[in-house]
Amino acid sequence: MPRSSSINTAYHQVQKKLGVEPKFSMHTLRHMLASLMVGSKDISLSYVSKYLGHASVLMTQKYYIGLLPEQVEVEAGKVAKVIAE
């Protein structure tokens, strides 16, 4: 397995060739991909969680729930409904 530092070095070289300041890491790329997936209405959070290798969907929600404001509103409405019953 290649070391993460070797992968990041190669990624920085690609960024330089593209004329981009080499400040982004592979972790940044992973986070961007995850953010795009979470923001898509067509991809389930469960799938994203498994794709990222998270132990549970709760972990994925912890890091990415801020990207889903409409989901927060829906869930808050459900909570309010349960409380009102």
Per-residue tens of pLDDT for the chain, all 85 residues = 778 788 889 888 998 999 988 888 888 888 888 988 888 889 999 999 999 999 999 999 888 877 766 776 777 788 888 888 6
Query: Domain range spanning residue 15?
Result: 4-84
Give residue 57's pLDDT: 94
Total domains, the chain? 1
Give residue 69's pLDDT: 66
Which tokens go with 47?
A: 């799938």
Please state the φ and ψ torsions of residue 25, each to the nearest 5 degrees: -110, 175
Give residue 25's pLDDT: 85
* Maximum alpha-carbon separation in the chain: 60
**Torsion of the alpha carbons at 59, 62, 52 and 11, rounded to the nearest 10:** -140
The single residue listed with the structure tokens 């992973």 is: 30
pTM: 0.63
